[in-house]
Amino acid sequence: MTQIPLSSAAEAEHPKFDLDRNDNTRQIVADVAYRQLAIVNVIFVGLESAGDGNWVLVDAGIPGSAQAIRSAASARFGGQGRPACIVMTHAHFDHVGALETLAREWDVPVYAHAAEHPYLDGSQSYPPADPSVGGGLLARLSPLFPTKPVNVASRLYDLPSDHSVPFMQDWRWTPGHTPGHVSLWRERDRVLIAGDAFITTRQESVYAAVTQTPEMHGPPMYFTPDWVSAKASVRELAALGPEIVVTGHGAAMQGAEMRAALDSLALRFDEVAVPESQQR
């Protein structure tokens, strides 16, 4: 069931410029682009042709996506396509798939919230997925999804205590989907990288995930254990009044229609986002 409908008119897309660049990314502002890798997005923050060390990778895609990320980075930024660092919104399998490979090959630091470190230093697995949440085939298959941690302990650091992030100004702790989930925010142009605090397609459905059917949607239900915190996180992000959002799943969205949908999700979160089995 659709949570909060969105039309394709709200998509933050510029197809002509994307084709001209030929790096397989979708650019939403001059220094933020993303690439869809199967069911998940990775985000590139930095100006085109910025060169090595002058941009940031946010999240690291599904397993087997290292080459796709490397090639997009090299085409977009030039040089070896090496970032200043990798910032993780969280450490679910579809966001860390290429992390160990890329962090090692690029020899760059990895930043994450301290509460997410156990899933990034090899010490703790996530709880198993909950297929009872419903919503589609992906939810039913979710117990098969990996929950074991990756290990980038030698390169892993806490996000800065002053909440600064290179090129994105600010990070916000947005727990619920995971204990250490974060979102990235930039006030000057109101760009929000939400991670999976909320998403813009129905991730529980194979059809919606593949076709990227747009809707404003809470965090993926089968992997979200703390719905009270998840609601608080959505409300905090909605209160920012973003102009453009790019999430972990689904197309980037912009403008008044997007904000109205996000406000509606925040207001009706218990009704539309929380699985019936978790409602009180």
H-helix or E-strand spanning residue 247: strand 244-247
- Is it the case that residue 117 has pLDDT exceeding 80? yes
Q: What residue spans define the domains of the chain?
A: 4-278
How many other β-carbons are positioned within 10 Å of the β-carbon of residue 160?
A: 11
What type of residue is 199?
I
Q: Are 10 and 255 in contact (CB under 8 A)?
A: yes
CATH 3.30.365.10, applies to 4-278: no
Of 82, 89, 119, the closest CA to residue 104 belongs to 82
Cα separation, 23 vs 20, whole angstroms = 9
Q: Say if strands 182-186 and 191-195 run parallel, antiparallel, or are unpaired.
A: antiparallel
Q: What is the mean pLDDT of residues 178-193?
A: 98
Q: What is the mean pLDDT of residues 51-62?
A: 98
CA-based end-to-end distance of the chain = 20
- pLDDT > 70: what percent of the chain? 99
Of 17, 23, 19, the closest CA to residue 72 belongs to 23
DSSP state of 72: H
Give the tokens for residue 86. Answer: 């990798």
Alpha-carbon dihedral angle through residues 217, 218, 220, 226, given to the nearest 10 degrees:
-170
The predicted-structure confidence for 24-45, as pLDDT tens digits, reads as follows 899 999 999 999 999 999 999 9
- Is it the case that residue 186 has pLDDT exceeding 90? yes
* Res. 277 pLDDT band, cuts 50 70 90: confident
- Is it the case that residue 228 has pLDDT exceeding 70? yes
Q: Are 218 and 247 in contact (CB under 8 A)?
A: no
Of 235, 244, 99, 232, the closest CA to residue 184 belongs to 244
- Is it the case that residue 270 has pLDDT exceeding 80? yes
* Res. 89 pLDDT band, cuts 50 70 90: very high
Q: What pLDDT sits at residue 212?
A: 82
Q: What pLDDT sits at residue 13?
A: 81
How far is residue 216 from each of residues 64, 80, 191, 274, measured CA to CA in Å? 28, 36, 17, 13
Q: Are 110 and 88 in contact (CB under 8 A)?
A: yes
Lookup result for tokens 């090959």: 105
